[in-house]
Structure 1
Amino acid sequence: MSSLDPVPYAEAPRAIRAALEPLRGLRLRTVTRAAEMLTLGFGELEMVGKRQVAQYALNLQAPWRLDHLATGTVTGRSDVWEPLELPAPDGWHWDEGPNLRDHLLGQLFPLNEAKRRFENQSDDFIVREIEATAAGDLTIRFAGPYEFRVLPQSTRQEAWRLLRPGDFSPHFVFEAGRAGYEQ
């Protein structure tokens, strides 16, 4: 676990909403993954060193899902461990693909193969509203008919963190039932 300066449990929803408030009005710009961790990039793309990154990154290690309000779940965390086709081909491994999650995300966002990320240009994915609970649950509502939900389930592990790539200011982290800025 990291060294957090946690807020009191009863104050967590307000603190989480305040930390995530800069995302309101920003476009979900990029979707990437490192192993099973998903990273959502919000805002304009900027150069940080030699890499082009979004202004904000929300790293997710907790269960999550992307819902379409009219048709239901589009994809979720567990889809990364599912082969695109059943039965799985001999020797199939989720990280070498193709896996169901990456395929379903590719239906919404074009894949930039050179940068190994999905890139969004749609106004449907501009952050409209953010809800949070003391347990670290997040609901990010977009301008279009989509919601992104995060549902932490661990009493020991980091669930999610918000950071500004290239900025060395403290990250806002939710882990082990505690929310706060990493020290």
Structure 2
Amino acid sequence: MVDHRGQPREVTEYALHVQCPWRVLQGDQYVVGSSDMFRPRPGWTGEGDFDWDVQGANRFDVRVARLNELLADGRVAVTSVDVTAWADLTISLSYGFRIEVLRLTSSVRTELWRFFRLHRDEPHVVVFTPPD
């Protein structure tokens, strides 16, 4: 595929867009979570301004490195998917990894996550917080 700048880009066939808290675990060990993006990387001294949007500056970039290596080599595969009645999503992966998408604890109707095929004019699976 070609991106918006006209550059070639490799993309997956399916995508999961998450708008609520999530985390990645390996067994019972925490790997990375959604709020790690907004925390400084380990070893940051507090000097200068922390800019979470600079590659390598945040805790997420450091914590996700191992998972990125496995993903880049195509060695991680989905082994199962579970969705609870409360819209929590668990995606189990090889190597004991799992992604947990955690429903917001809000009473306001909000999109939580969606699963879809990229670049297709097809219906999406869209999950919202339950209505009142």
Tell me the TM-score range normalised by the shorter chain.
0.7 to 0.9
SS at match of 1:136: coil
User: How far apart, CA to CA, are the structure 2 residues paired with 1:143 and 1:126?
Assistant: 5
User: How far apart, CA to CA, are the structure 2 residues paired with 1:133 and 1:165?
Assistant: 25
SS at match of 1:144: helix
**Structure 1 segments unaligned to the other structure (5+ residues):** 1-46, 111-117, 179-183
Number of aligned residues: 123
RMSD: 2.2
Which of 62, 66, 77 aligns to 1:107? It is 66
Kindly state the Cα deviation for residue 52 of structure 1 after the two structures are TM-superposed. 2.4
Percent identical among aligned pairs is 32
The alignment's TM-score, normalised by the length of structure 1, stands at 0.60
Structure 2 residue 11 is matched with structure 1 residue 59: no
The alignment's TM-score, normalised by the length of structure 2, stands at 0.80
Kindly state the Cα deviation for residue 160 of structure 1 after the two structures are TM-superposed. 0.7
Instruction: Give the letter aligned to residue 120 of structure 1.
Output: A
Structure 2 residue 114 is matched with structure 1 residue 161: yes
* Paired position in structure 2 for 1:26: none
Which of 47, 54, 65 aligns to 1:89? It is 47
Please give the residue correspondences for 1:18-167 in structure 2 after superposition, counting only pairs within 5 Å. 47=1, 50-70=8-28, 72-84=29-41, 85-97=43-55, 98-110=57-69, 119-123=71-75, 125-153=76-104, 154=106, 155-167=108-120
Summarize deviations over 1:73-103 as a string: whole Å, max 9, x none.
Answer: 0010010010003443321121225100122
**Structure 2 segments unaligned to the other structure (5+ residues):** none
Residues 122/177 of structure 1: CA separation in 2 closer, same or farther (3 Å cut)? same
* Paired position in structure 1 for 2:123: 170
Residues 48, 165 of structure 1: 8 Å contact kept:
no
SS at match of 1:139: strand
